[in-house]
Amino acid sequence: METGTVEGVFSDKRFALKVATSRFGNSLQSLIPSLRSAVLKAGGVKLIFGSPSRGLFDIVGPELARKSDYVVNLFVDQHVETVRAEEAIFAGLNLVNMLVV
């Protein structure tokens, strides 16, 4: 695995499930049943976030959906261009916690 690269993030085999976050992703509500099942079956979950200046579709391109198992919009009605990193991380970890309980 090439560490520190975009390709390395997606080719890392230590995590069975890769969940990308994007404002262009599928609504969380529509994915809950499928995502819960996938999280419970997975040996590990990797949450992948973009940066404040570039979202994952800007960084990875249209193949983001192919490189990750899910592309989730954590803030469907956010009404802002970007969400602060600490808010996105908290929401993503909260999501995983909610799915495994």
Domain boundaries, the chain: 25-100
Sheet of strand 70-73, all strands in order from the earlier edge strand to the far edge: 45-48, 17-27, 70-73
Angle between helix 28-41 and 85-100 (nearest 10): 60
For the chain, what is the radius of gyration of the CA atoms?
A: 13
pLDDT of residue 3: 57
Amino acid (1-letter code) at residue 99: L
Average the pLDDT over each of 2-6, 42-46, 86-90 and give the range with the smallest value. 2-6
pLDDT of residue 52: 80
Rounded Cα–Cα distance for residues 88 and 76 (Å) = 12
Using the structure block, give the residue that is written with the tokens 């599928």. Answer: 26
pLDDT of residue 100: 83
Q: Is the pTM of this model over 0.75?
A: yes
